[in-house]
A and B are shown apart, each in its own frame.
Chain A
Amino acid sequence: MIETRNLTFGYKGQDRKVFVHLDLEIAENSIYGLLGQNGAGKTTLLALMNGLYRPTVDDLGNVGEVLIDGENIAERQISTLEKIYFLPDEFELPEVSLKQYLGMRSGFYRDFSYEMMQNNLREFGISEGVVLNRLSLGQRKKVMISFALATRCKILMMDEPTNGLDIPSKSIFRKMVARCMGEDQTIIISTHLVHDVEGLFDHVVILDDNRCVVNASMADIAEKYTFEYRSLGDVDDNVIYTEPSLQGNATISLNKKCAEETPVNLELFFNAVINKKIK
């Protein structure tokens, strides 16, 4: 489990804090969607969870912490680092072949699966002979997504993984994550392209205004709200949020007791949260 306790963080030289006293719990065996607008702090939160950044001392002189299975990540214990793989949004790859890269890096991850790596590459249509720094952005993403999943680390964090992927690859990515996810794994996917990963998440965390405004399971959201398309005249007081769309007005309303659950329209839900219609 990942916990942030009383986490405050601000970049050096900036008065504005990215997070102030953030408390968050990420449960095991789930795929989390970390959502937020640009600049909401998604990447910063992932970096803090990786121990790349250190929490800032708050006004009262307290330092928050990020705990991975009870261990403070700031201590960078090897037992903690071994549990985590972080795939950043932007990365550089060295001038080596993929085969060499696997030789260099796979040994660091004790559960690394070559079979999974090969399957993933095959699905993405990438051969092992490619030289990494000559690949396009999308191809690099495909290689690193394949590698990240093949590490089989207990906690896998991906920052904007669908950025740069073509449309068929986004679909492959969703299937791949679902297929490769182990029983004891937690996957955190940070994105602002909600539509790309819809249907993949078990939980969503939404960041806004320097804090976590939603941390809920998809099941809870589906139980609590009804997502449907309605005509303009059909929008009643029960509707919490509405947006015009080609199919009519996309609406969110409170789920009446015993009513049938509807599939969660995550993009709509996200917009409702950002517009403070859902708290």
Chain B
Amino acid sequence: MTQFNRNRFLRLLKNDFLLNKKKILIILGVITGLVFAIYTLVGFGFVGADSIAGLNTDITKAPESLKKFLAFFTHENVMAVLTAASYASYVWGIASFVIMTRVFANLQDRKQEIDFLTLPATNLEKWSSRVAYVSLISLAGLVAHSLGYAISLLVIYPFNSGFVNESLALYGSSGVLEELGVTGFCKNMYLPMVYISYVGLGMILIWAGTRFRRNAWLYTALWGLGIYCALFVFGALGMGIYIATSGVFDHVSDSGIIFTEIVNSVMRISVVLMGLSFVVGLVLLPRSYKRFCRRQLEMNK
């Protein structure tokens, strides 16, 4: 029976953390700071935009400086911030994950591998500690994301009692997606699916770490690029064929409706892909553990 001891697991985690502390602190600092800053701005921004549009927000009681600050957030500015925020958080999230999987690099070097394998802990403890280590990034991102909203909520709340509900809608991205005309499942599930895809990505990279070890970042990036290009090409091709053959836009003269259709299609594909990454991650994670256990056998080379 495979044993799991919490103390040994924590010791292994501490071991990996201390060995990589500079890298971890930089990555965690950057991603936490970035996500926190972005989502605080986004939180403020929507209230600002809302107040400019004269909708639900009443900030007349707010200090002048806050009014001026919120006035910056026009609808266009907010959309720009949100787009930049999405891209930045994706890029940093992926980059951080890839960097964190470097923790498996010590399985590439014979001397470091002996040092690690001879530590008195079970394979399950060693592997789990590395899973936890790589997952720190998701946790940091989630905390920063939530904290950003919480801060904006706390600042705005005294001046806008209706803000809580709006914020919660915004937190789930459904508000933004609704503005874009996205409806149904995609609207409500987009943010959860983003988180799920991050978890999926983490699992895929953990597998890549045990598979490619020191070169995990390179091979994973190449595989990712390859898959992205293939999806892009086949996706565009598929969509083109769909549009040409289905005649979906034949009777539509309103460009707004066409835009909404495209956005909805893209969102559906995105949600499917995000779900797919989670499924792929689920399949690869046990394989990662098996491969990790086989390290001893591979030492025979």
Contact = CB atoms under 8 A, between A and B. Distances in A.
Nearest to B109: A92
B301 A12 contact: yes
Contacts of A52: 114, 117-118, 296, 299
B226 to A, nearest CB: 30
B115 A91 contact: yes
Given A13-B301, A91-B115, A76 B296 contact: yes
Given A96-B19, A105-B15, A108-B8, A78 B118 contact: no
Contacts of A143: none
B17 to A, nearest CB: 9
Give chain A's interface secondary structure class: loop
B114 A88 contact: yes
A82 interface: yes
Contacts of A92: 109, 111-112, 115
A84 B18 contact: no
Contacts of B8: 78, 108
Interface stretch (B119-127, B195-203, B284-292): B119-127
Interface string A35-54: 00000000000010011111
A107 B13 CA distance: 12
B249 to A, nearest CB: 60
Given A11-B300, A52-B299, A108-B8, A81 B111 contact: no
A229 interface: no
A51 B15 contact: no
Nearest to A13: B301
A258 interface: no
A185 interface: no
B296 A81 contact: no
A108 B301 contact: no
Contacts, number: 73
Nearest to A109: B120
Nearest to A83: B120
Nearest to A153: B120
A50 to B, nearest CB: 6
B297 interface: yes
Interface in A48-77: 50-54, 56, 74, 76
Give chain B's interface secondary structure class: helix
Interface residues of A, number: 31
Contacts of A123: none
A86 interface: yes
A88 to B, nearest CB: 6
Nearest to B11: A107
A105 B115 CA distance: 11
A11 B120 contact: no
Contact of A94 (B19, B118, B299): B19
Given A52-B117, A88-B114, A76 B123 contact: yes
A81 B120 contact: yes
B299 A47 contact: yes
A50 B118 CA distance: 7
B15 to A, nearest CB: 5
B60 interface: no
Interface in A103-137: 103-105, 107-109
Contacts of B117: 52
Contact of B18 (A11, A13, A100): A100
A56 B301 CA distance: 12
A82 B114 contact: no
Contacts of B301: 11-13
B120 A82 contact: yes
Interface string B243-273: 0000000000000000000000000000000
A86 B19 contact: no
A51 B3 CA distance: 18
Interface string A177-197: 000000000000000000000
Nearest to A50: B118
Contacts of A100: 18
B297 A108 contact: no
Contacts of A81: 118-121
A108 B11 contact: yes
Interface string B4-31: 0101100100110011000000000000
A222 B118 CA distance: 36
Given A47-B299, A51-B296, A108 B18 contact: no
A243 interface: no
Contacts of B120: 78, 81-82, 84, 108-109
B3 A78 contact: yes
Given A54-B296, A78-B120, A81-B120, 20 more contacts: A13-B301, A50-B118, A52-B114, A52-B299, A53-B299, A54-B300, A74-B296, A76-B296, A78-B5, A78-B121, A82-B120, A85-B118, A88-B111, A104-B11, A104-B18, A104-B19, A105-B119, A107-B7, A108-B11, A109-B120
Interface of A: 11-13, 47, 50-54, 56, 74, 76, 78, 81-82, 84-86, 88, 90-92, 94, 96, 100, 103-105, 107-109
Report the 4 A-B pairs with minimum CB-CB distance, sorted nearest first. Answer: A81-B120, A82-B120, A92-B111, A12-B301
15 contacts: A11-B300, A11-B301, A12-B300, A13-B301, A78-B8, A78-B122, A85-B118, A91-B114, A92-B109, A94-B19, A103-B14, A104-B19, A107-B7, A108-B119, A109-B120
